[in-house]
Every structure is written in C-alpha cells, then in structure tokens.
Homo-oligomer: A and B are copies of this chain.
C-alpha cells in the first residue's frame, strides 16, 4: 500500500479519535453550563465511557502500525509540513499513551474521583487531614506513571511534558530562578510606596451592562460569534466543541466589577487562539493549541497586556463610564487605571494581580517537584506551603483552606500543570515585544480601539499553527529565543515603576 494511502487511513482514524475528544468537550461544557443536578451522576458515566473510547481508539494497534509504516515516509517530507508534523506529534503522543497500562489509567481515574470528593469537603472545612490520604495516593500514582513514561533527566519531566511537550524540569527551574528574586524585590518595593485606591470597583455593577460591555470589547478583539457563544458558569472557561464552535463562559461576582470584565477578555484570548487554528488541522492532534503555556500567553495578553493597559482604557474608559455613570462618573481615567492594576500580596492565587501571580505559581511548582522527587512528604505540605508564602509574599494563611487546599488541581490529579500559568505570562510579554516591533503603531491602534492588526499578527504567528510546534520551538520561531523571563520583568518594572513611582 502506498504511504499516501496509509497517511489517509491514519487521518481517518485520528478524525474519529478527535471527534470523541471534541464530544468530551461538549459534555464538560454542558456540565458547567446547562446540566440539571439530576444528571450529575450519569454524566460521570458518559465522560468515563467517552474517555475510555478515546484512549482505546488513540492507542489502537491499527494506528500504531500505520505510524510505524509511515516513519520513513515522514522523514522524506518537508519537516515543517502539516503531514510531517502530524506523524511526528501523533507518534510522540502514541508512544506516551501506550506506555500507560489500562489498569493504571482506571486506578488514577478512580482515585481522582474519590480525591475530588474528599477535597470538596476538606477545603471549606480547612481540614487537610481529610484530603491527605488521597493526595498521597495521587502522588504515588503520578510517580508510577512518570516512571513508566521515563527515562527522563528528571522524574517530573514527563508530568510537565503532558502540558508542555518537550519542556524540561530543569528549564522551568532555570526560568523561575531568574524570576523569583526580582519579583520578590518588586513587590517589596511596591509595599513601601503609597498604596492604590480601588474601592470604586467594589460596589454593585449591573450584570447586564457588564455583559454588554464585555461583548462589545471581545467583539472588537475579534471573537467570532458565528463560531462561538458566551454563557455564564461558576468558573470562567473556554471549551472547543469542534472547529467552528469555540465557546467561552464568564461569571459575575457580587460587588466586584473587575472579575467579569477581565475574565471575559481572558477567555476571549483562549478562544481567539482556538478559532484561529488552521481548519486543515482540525480533528487531529494538531488541532488545538501548542501547549497550556502558549494558550495562557494568549489569554493573559488580551487580559493584561491589552486589557489592563493605559492605551486600552484611553479608548474604552468613556464607554465604560457611559454604562456605569453612577459608579464611575466621578472616577477619572488615571484613578481607574491605577485601581485595576493595584498590587497587593494575597493568599489566593486566582485573585492575585500581575505582579504577585507568578510567585503563587513558583511556590506550587517547587512543592510539586519535591513531592514527586520524594524530598517532601504530603504530611509536611501545609507547613512547607505556609513558610514559602511568608518568604515570597510576606503572608501566612490563617488556615489550610486559604492555603494548601485552595486549588482544585491536585484533587483532579493534575500534577505538572501549575507552571503553565506563569510560563504563559512570560510568553505573553515576549510576544508583546515582538508584535510591537512588527507593528510600530500598535499603541495608536489600541488607543483607537482597533485590534485587527494585533489579532491578525497572533493568528499568523501563533494561532494558525495549532499544535504543530512544541512550545519552546514555537516561541523560538517567533521571538528568536526560547521562553525567557526578561521581557516580562521589563514589562512589570516599567508598568509598576510608573504606577507606584519606583
């Protein structure tokens, strides 16, 4: 059989696998947005059945044989072509997936289910002891998984690789080492300056007007409503149901306007990425983002580099004031701009500002690596958490609910995930420097509320490639260097230097 025929067979099989993947996306979206309470139990069955089918079709002998047969053919193709990359990325993923025995996959799923229930009780009760045995099991299972994936330079590598293909633990550690002392120093310097007032954000803002303003903004960003929709959910997220159907959600916090505003822009950033992927890559392993960090670079770029910038509000603040004349009529642009950029070390990651956010991440990454290495025991986690919080942010949680128990990730079995948030911030600043070099009048465009240039650039450089390139490779192609903390530090120092008069 000709290799072209085999490639076409492979694509057909992958189409089926990724149809299942997208249907899982719909099941999850529906679960958060529409599902009545009575459907909860059965939705777990459906998800479990679909995941099992997805996994078993992805790891089928048929796909394995085709990939093996296509190895030589792929080597003759132009290395950056869609077909060469499809074979490369699929082969890499196939090898990882087939190293996991089905009973380990099933055991992880079961433990995660129980762990999540335990965490849901432990967090409000601030009772780490209740969660501890489950976390111990999860760490043990993920360690076993990492060993099966191995060998690697570091046992944590293959867990990180699940979210950031190709990235090494040592890379992330080097990046974060360069970042840590400087971010801590910045926060210290800010602390000694007069603080910013943002009380005007903490009052009642009409939900419908918040919704309308958000829609106005992200429509200008380029969100394609013909290929998506926005709903409400308790936690904002973006879900790709398939090419041509990328949905976002938002939420409205009582008496805090900034939540919906910036989360809408954030999710729009994710959605622009998914909507911008070349349709020819859809229904395949190449049809999603390059990695979680690259994804986060897009959400953070639209949320922060654009959405919390002075240029942006020069155009949009009068519009926002028109929606909320009672709340903002007497608040001038400068006060508003400083308010939405207030820096304040806090206990909770999801409420953290741009300057402190990465420190929350570093803390988690260090603890995760230590857990997987075995250099720290789960029982010692709360203490290790609290001492690092004091060191990095000068705070100590009053209890574990506001400390080590705050995040859902570990209870969901996600170990290796956290660093992608901080890496996303770094990449966003790298891309920001590049796009501003390529489009010298970008600030002017933004001051006019125009984003076509920005979003087209992102589509051309980032979005359309889907998962063809690994994150480091993609960042290198665009910016000329790998993931690098320097641009983000420059950005933070310039922005907060100006706001806080450092």
Contact = CB atoms under 8 A, between A and B. Distances in A.
B30 A243 contact: no
Interface string A10-38: 00000110011011001100100011111
A241 B30 CA distance: 11
Interface stretch (A60-68, A221-229, A446-454): A221-229
A41 B241 CA distance: 12
A50 interface: yes
A245 B39 CA distance: 5
Contact of A23 (B37, B38, B50): B50
A188 interface: no
A16 B242 CA distance: 23
Given A30-B26, A283-B45, A241 B39 contact: yes
A40 interface: yes
A323 B318 CA distance: 41
B36 A19 contact: no
Nearest to A244: B38
A493 interface: no
Contacts of A15: 45, 49
B227 A42 contact: no
A227 B39 CA distance: 6
A445 interface: no
Contacts of A241: 30, 35, 39, 42
B283 A38 contact: no
A38 B224 contact: yes
Contacts of A41: 244
B46 A23 contact: yes
Contacts of A40: 244
Contacts of A247: 36
B36 A20 contact: no
Interface in A190-245: 224-229, 241-245
Contact of A229 (B23, B26, B36, B224): B36
A53 interface: yes
A245 B36 contact: yes
Nearest to A50: B23
Contacts of A16: 49, 52-53
Contact of A242 (B19, B22, B42, B224): B42
A173 interface: no
A243 B41 CA distance: 9
B49 A20 contact: yes
A282 interface: yes
A85 to B, nearest CB: 21
Which residue among A27, A35, A38, A228 has the maximum number of chain B CB atoms within 10 Å of its CB? Answer: A38
Interface in A410-450: none
Main DSSP-derived SS at the A contact region: helix
A244 B49 contact: no
Given A27-B23, A30-B26, A46 B225 contact: no
A43 interface: yes
A486 to B, nearest CB: 39
A49 B229 CA distance: 24
B46 A229 contact: no
A225 B36 CA distance: 7
A244 to B, nearest CB: 3
A23 B21 CA distance: 13
A30 B213 CA distance: 27
Interface string A166-189: 000000000000000000000000
Contacts of A43: 242, 245
Interface in A225-269: 225-229, 241-245, 247
Nearest to A20: B49
Interface in A391-413: none
A19 B54 CA distance: 14
Contacts of A282: 42
Nearest to A34: B229
Given A26-B30, A226-B37, A243 B42 contact: yes
Given A37-B227, A42-B243, 11 more contacts: A15-B45, A16-B53, A20-B53, A23-B46, A23-B49, A23-B50, A26-B30, A30-B241, A34-B229, A39-B227, A53-B53
5 contacts: A19-B50, A23-B49, A26-B27, A36-B244, A42-B245
List the 9 closest A-B pairs by CB distance, nearest first: A39-B245, A38-B227, A38-B244, A42-B242, A19-B49, A39-B244, A38-B226, A19-B46, A16-B49
